[in-house]
Amino acid sequence: MKQPAALASDRPGRTFRDEAPGYLAAVAFLSAYALGMAGAAAILQAALNLTGSGLAAGYLWRKRALPNVLLNVAWAAITVAGLVGSPGRA
C-alpha cells in the first residue's frame, strides 16, 4: 500500500551516507578479527577495534540505541585496558 504524500515526506529514506559509519564499523571489527586469526600485531587489531567502536558508538547514538552505545564504549575501554595492561603485546 502506498503512503500518502504527507507521511512519506515526514520519513526520508536512509541514504548510504547516513549508514556509512555503521558499515565502516563492521568492516573495522571484521578486519580486526581476521588479523587476530592471522596472528597480526595486537596494536593493529586494537586500532581497528577502537576505530570500529568509536564509529559504531556515534552511529548508534544517532539512532538512540543506548544499550548498543554502551556496549561499544565498553568494547573500547576493554581494548585500551588490554593495551595498557600488557605493553609487550604490540
> Looking at the domain assignment, is residue 61 inside a domain?
yes
pLDDT value, residue 88: 59
**52, part of any domain:** yes
pLDDT in tens, the chain (90 residues): 555 554 444 446 789 999 999 999 999 999 999 999 999 999 999 999 999 999 999 999 999 999 999 999 999 999 999 989 876 555
Task: Specify if 30 maps to a domain.
Answer: no
The amino acid occupying position 79 is T
Residue 74 in domain: yes
Residue 64 lies in a domain: yes
In-domain check, residue 59: yes
Give domain status of residue 11, yes or no: no
Residue 82 domain boundaries: 46-90
Half-sphere exposure of residue 29: CA atoms within 13 angstroms, side-chain side: 15
Write the DSSP assignment of 21-84 as a string of letters: HHHHHHHHHHHHHHHHHHT--HHHHHHHHHHHHHHHHHHHHHTT-HHHHHHHHHHHHHHHHHHH
Domains in the chain: how many in total? 1
Residue 70 is assigned to a structural domain of this protein? yes
